[in-house]
Amino acid sequence: MKSITRLVTAVVAVMFAVAILCPAQGVKSTDLGKGAAFNGKKIEMKDKGEVAYLLFFTAGKEFEATTDGLKNTDVHLFVYDSSGAEVAKDDSPGPKCSVKVTPEKDGKYKFVIKNANGANTVTFNVKVAK
């Protein structure tokens, strides 16, 4: 009986860790094309909502991704490279987020935006260095 309890506890712990450490597991990513051509996007987000976007970037060209909400909710921004490794995040309190990344290789990057504490209209922008 103790071994079954330990097994169940271990499985629950792993599921919890995956849910916390891997945002947007159940959210389908929308491909928005090339990061250099991206002109921003307004997103109507529900309380506890999250969205995921893919953008392509060229190696060596720094980009800055930002969010800004109309209401004072808690918005978080996560960036993952094509292998799924987290390369940047801003999970500070408030509706504004900002991260800078210089890609090491050409590829698609996944942007996960999470909203908490009420519905909000969030603007997502990306600027690529010239």
Higher per-residue confidence, 130 vs 76: 76
Number of domains in the chain: 1
**Is 95 part of a structural domain of the chain?**
yes
Cα angle value 80/84/87 (rounded, 5°): 35
> 4 pLDDT exceeds 60?
yes
Predicted TM-score of the model (pTM): 0.78
CB-CB neighbours of 88 under 10 Å: 19
Report pLDDT digits (tens) over 68-94: 998 888 999 999 999 999 999 999 999
In this structure, the chain runs to a length of: 130
**Is 63 part of a structural domain of the chain?**
yes
Report pLDDT digits (tens) over 26-51: 679 999 999 999 999 999 999 899 99
**Is 8 part of a structural domain of the chain?**
no
3-state helix, strand, coil in the chain (%, to 5): 20, 50, 35
* Residue 99 near residue 90, CB atoms below 8 Å: yes
Nearest to 35 by CA among 120, 100, 118: 100
Rounded CA-CA distance 87/83 in Å is 10
Question: Average per-residue pLDDT in the chain?
Answer: 85
Cα angle value 39/104/23 (rounded, 5°): 65
**Is 71 part of a structural domain of the chain?**
yes
Rounded CA-CA distance 27/128 in Å is 26
**Is 122 part of a structural domain of the chain?**
yes
